[in-house]
Structure 1
Amino acid sequence: MAILTGLSLQSIKRVGNLKTNFLDTYNMIWKDFQRLGYVTAYAEDQANMNTFTFGKRGFKQPPTDFYFRDYTVITEQLTNSSKSSTVYCPGPESYGDRMLNIARDFTSTFSTQPFFGFFWMNSFSHDDVNAPMKMDNQIKTFFQDLQDKGIMNRTAIIFLSDHGMRYGQIRHTKTGWLEERLPFLYFWMPKWFKEDHKQEYKNLHENSKKLTTPYDVYMTLQHILVLSGLNYTIKQSMSCHNCTSLFKQVSGIRSCADASIDTEFCSCISYEDMDSNHPLVTKAANFVIKKIRTDMLIESSSASKCAVLEIDSIRFSRIATNYPYRQTNTTHILIQFETKPKTVLEATVKFEEGKHGLRIHIEGNVQRLDMYRYTGWCVDIENLRKYCYCKTKLQLLTEDIINWVKDDAKHFI
């Protein structure tokens, strides 16, 4: 949403309920391109985790000239694809290949007209950190086809991810913490652009070594319209007043706060390991559990379906070492711990000493790092589902263990 609207998800939620309000009212960047004569398209695989319908109501009217939502929904229905898991192959070709083919057909069909295409793939990368490499050859062939057809000589291409792996074994590591927060972002500009807009290209290249955000990409997309010679006025991102087009110089001393990056996602924080038995670590873990229980109790219908979580063990704890995350009266702690029943939780907790005593605050959201698709299904509320371990699930597991013990005991009688 930040790339397409210049707004954070929090800002959008403040405007209205995403589950009841359609997204048509938001000025998606492709509307600006459309008004200026561009043919537009949007296609995304994996209907159950679609960018605009997962936890949201989606669009009432097709948002682009070519819109493939109905196609993906019907495809998954006809192939009896599970709504609770990733669909990799809904037919004779993989979902990733299908999205690439749609993008290939769109760019070829409108190769002599200005176009804006937004093509997104979830299926081959969402559930497995190693799966993306299986698409290397297809991605290479796709770009080679665009080059052979001359499309790359007249088109700006942005190849990106929105985040790294959010769960699984890799997220239990320091590398995984960074990987989630540092998705890749590649720009391709035609060769003639480097000659006609030397300063803009130089800035783009230099900015690759600086802290940048999706809000900057939003500003860059608008700048492309200006550089195309169209009558267009760039609008500042409403959620990042300091963000700028990547064709302009980005400050080399930019902070996460300057770039409107929330503390929990700031990769510029330096952490060092701390003793997991430290009193602050205990306070942090207890505070996180208390916060989850409080949120659950607000929705009493949800609380009654979920087991009460208790701290089992601390996986690791780290303390921030650099300003402004570590000051005389302020401390940030990153904590990851397991609970009973089994969940793996992670949170960035801020401790602030003031005249009224110690104030504890969770930066952003508590992250659940193990897959909760099959343990939180009994709760409909999206932001509570990941903290729920359904009592029914726990009962079934207990019964399975009892039956397994009984069966195993027969061999010793």
Structure 2
Amino acid sequence: NYEKVISLIPVIESPTVRELPESPDLPNVLFVGIDSVSRLQFDRHFPITARNIISGQGFHTIYGYNKVADNTFPNLTPLLTGHYVEDLWDETMNTQFDYFPFIWKEYHRKGNKTLYMEDAPIMHTYNYEKKGFADPPTDYYLRPYYLAMDSKTKDYCYLGRVELEVYYEYLLDFIRAMNARKQKYFAFHFMARLTHDILNNVEVRRIRQTLSGRYEERLPFMHIYVPQRYRYRNLTVNEDRLTTPFDIHSTLKHILEGKPNTTLKYGLSLLEEIPYNRSCDSIPVLEHWCVCHISRRIHDLHSVRPMAEFVVTKLNDLLHD
């Protein structure tokens, strides 16, 4: 018996979604994310993409893009919701994530069709050791498709094809379908299996032991392309400013609302100039993840001994309690 999972892109009618005034000039939004890849790793492992697509095509490389937490879940959530995970959820909550204020919900209310897709369903951001969603979070939600496909995926191949080709083919088909229907969209695609399993294991453990590796761990790649009407001088200036996932969220709000949203708890729009003296404390980013600190070799060990003894004593007291 031969079985094959086929993905379709049906026409989805949403007559009640436009709770906000429709914006015919609102651009399409497309995220193509790759897990566990720093900016320098991107240059090393995707040189053709970096050279032929990113360079010279109007993309902005955000060199100061600093992650705010350890892994995918607490870094994507600020980008997609504008909040730290801890503001919305903790591990004691036996709940699903439908109530999260995802930015795609706001674009949906403006009339954009929404897509959310991740490969490797066992590692999906809101499903790995979590409850996922009670209802599909977007108009087009690919998790059921990937679950069916995953059982026939082996060695990163699906029925004789590299699985990444299948994923990106669907994304391209989605874009073509939306364009043919003259339908605006918000699409979020995130690929994790290959880079998480291979690049992360083979390379990162060794590189993290170096000073360069410390920076790489905290500086994921971020390339941004915007339509001509948004190509303000500020975007170029902000390439070298300290930025975070909160700023991407703030930029999406700026585009959606036509002006900077000054009520956001975190984040500044990249269409506005980011202060040159911005600090991790002002964002805020925990000191552990901040790349603005300088490490210095300590030669006078006697000067640090009292501090070390204090820390050890404090830890022992906490463990004893």
1:137-182 residue CA offsets vs partner (Å, 9 max, x unmatched)? xxxxxxxxxxxxxxxxxxxxxxxxxxxx7x5111122111110101
Among candidates 42, 54, 78, match of residue 116 of structure 2: 42
Among candidates 248, 251, 260, match of residue 272 of structure 2: 248
Structure 2: distance between partners of 1:203 and 1:213: 16
Tell me the TM-score normalised to structure 1 length: 0.52
By how many angstroms is 1:284 displaced?
8.4
Contact 2:280 2:287 in 1 (8 A): yes
Contact 1:43 1:69 in 2 (8 A): yes
Among candidates 133, 136, 153, match of residue 62 of structure 1: 136
1:255-306 residue CA offsets vs partner (Å, 9 max, x unmatched)? 0011221111000001112369763685488579869x95xx99xxxxxxxx
Structure 1: distance between partners of 2:254 and 2:117: 24
Structure 1 letter corresponding to 2:276: G
Q: Does 2:212 align with 1:175?
A: yes
1:259 aligned partner: 283
Among candidates 246, 251, 255, match of residue 215 of structure 1: 246
Instruction: Flag structure 2 segments of 5+ consecutive residues without an equivalent.
Output: 1-76
By how many angstroms is 1:48 displaced?
1.7
By how many angstroms is 1:13 displaced?
2.6
Within-5 A mapping of 1:329-408: none
Structure 2 letter corresponding to 1:70: P
Within-5 A mapping of 1:58-207: 58-79=132-153, 88-111=156-179, 112-129=182-199, 168-190=205-227, 193=228, 196-197=229-230, 201-207=232-238
By how many angstroms is 1:27 displaced?
1.2
Percent identity reads 29
The structure richer in strand per residue is 1
1:376-401 residue CA offsets vs partner (Å, 9 max, x unmatched)? xxxxxxxxxxxxxxxxxxxxxxxxxx
By how many angstroms is 1:130 displaced?
8.1
Q: Count residues with an aligned counterpart.
A: 241
Structure 1 letter corresponding to 2:139: D
Structure 1: distance between partners of 2:140 and 2:271: 29
Structure 1 letter corresponding to 2:284: S
By how many angstroms is 1:96 displaced?
2.7
Structure 2: distance between partners of 1:289 and 1:114: 55
Q: Which is greater in Rg?
A: 1
Instruction: Flag structure 1 segments of 5+ consecutive residues without an equivalent.
Output: 82-86, 133-164, 299-413
Structure 2 letter corresponding to 1:237: L
Contact 1:45 1:121 in 2 (8 A): yes
1:12 aligned partner: 88
Structure 1 letter corresponding to 2:234: N
1:340 aligned partner: none
Tell me the TM-score normalised to structure 2 length: 0.66
Structure 1 letter corresponding to 2:305: P
Structure 1: distance between partners of 2:141 and 2:192: 17
Structure 2: distance between partners of 1:127 and 1:290: 37
Contact 1:99 1:119 in 2 (8 A): no
- Residues 273, 220 of structure 1: CA spacing in aligned structure 2 closer, same or farther, 3 A cutoff? same
By how many angstroms is 1:12 displaced?
2.1
Larger RCO: Structure 1 or Structure 2 (Cα < 8 Å, ≥ 6 residues apart)? 2
- Residues 26, 89 of structure 1: CA spacing in aligned structure 2 closer, same or farther, 3 A cutoff? same
Structure 1: distance between partners of 2:110 and 2:169: 26
Structure 2 letter corresponding to 1:110: M
